[in-house]
């Protein structure tokens, strides 16, 4: 789900500023990719996960991404940009947490676990580049954002179920 969510906002976000009510060109809308600079927080997130655990970091990042998507729904450019910045930062934090979780999940065959993670990550990322296009065609940016929140909600439930199962 992480790969799917990471691609969804990026795939559709540069189209939103080029459409009404904003009306900026595609080149200007593509400036949204500058938000990827929030990835510099990765080392901080890794240290935070060492202190509080990767599961907590993952849960916080899922909530932060959902909040960012909801912030991006109003037709107001500052909230769109701030919301997408939250989503982008949350996705980098979530990827860091997920990689730590994969590493922690097994003492043997870590290479296999990592390969499975990345295969699923990029496979879901391919869907995350395609499915938001369908939501965009049907409902515009609001549809993309709400579908993203739904996928993030499913990821949150899956992570919470895994936490409960690991304690039981």
Enter the pTM of the model.
0.84
**Count of domains for the chain:** 1
Name the residue range of residue 121's domain: 2-13+42-167
Question: Do the domain assignments include residue 35?
Answer: no
Question: Do the domain assignments include residue 31?
Answer: no
User: What's the whole-number average pLDDT of the chain?
Assistant: 86
> How many residues are listed for the chain in this entry?
168
Question: Do the domain assignments include residue 102?
Answer: yes
Question: Do the domain assignments include residue 26?
Answer: no
Residue 6 has pLDDT above 90, yes or no: no
Handedness of CA 8, 9, 10, 16 (dihedral sign): positive
For residues 62 and 8, give the distance between their C-alpha atoms in angstroms, rounded to a whole number. 14
Q: Classify residue 53 by burial, with Cβ atoms within 10 Å: 0-12, 13-18, 19+.
A: middle
Residue 2 has pLDDT above 60, yes or no: no
Pick from 8, 1, 16: nearest CA to 87: 8
> pLDDT tens for residues 123-136?
988 888 888 889 88
> pLDDT tens for residues 10-67?
555 656 676 677 777 777 778 888 888 998 998 999 999 999 999 999 999 999 999 9
Percent of the chain whose pLDDT exceeds 90: 54
């Amino acid at each position: 789900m992480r790969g799917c969510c990471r691609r969804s906002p990026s795939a559709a976000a540069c189209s939103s500023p080029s459409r009404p009510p904003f009306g900026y060109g595609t080149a200007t809308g593509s400036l949204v990719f500058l938000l990827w600079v929030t990835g510099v927080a990765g080392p901080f997130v890794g240290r935070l996960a060492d202190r509080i655990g990767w599961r907590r970091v993952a849960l916080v990042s899922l909530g932060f991404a959902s909040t960012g998507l909801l912030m991006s729904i109003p037709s107001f450019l500052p909230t769109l940009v701030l919301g997408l910045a939250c989503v982008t930062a949350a996705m980098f934090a979530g990827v860091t947490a997920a990689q730590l979780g994969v590493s922690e999940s097994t003492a043997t065959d870590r290479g296999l676990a990592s390969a499975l993670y990345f295969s699923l990550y990029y496979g879901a990322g391919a869907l995350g580049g395609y499915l938001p296009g369908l939501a965009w065609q049907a409902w515009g940016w609001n549809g993309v954002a709400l579908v993203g929140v739904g996928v993030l909600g499913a990821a949150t439930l899956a992570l919470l179920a895994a936490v409960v199962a690991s304690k039981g």
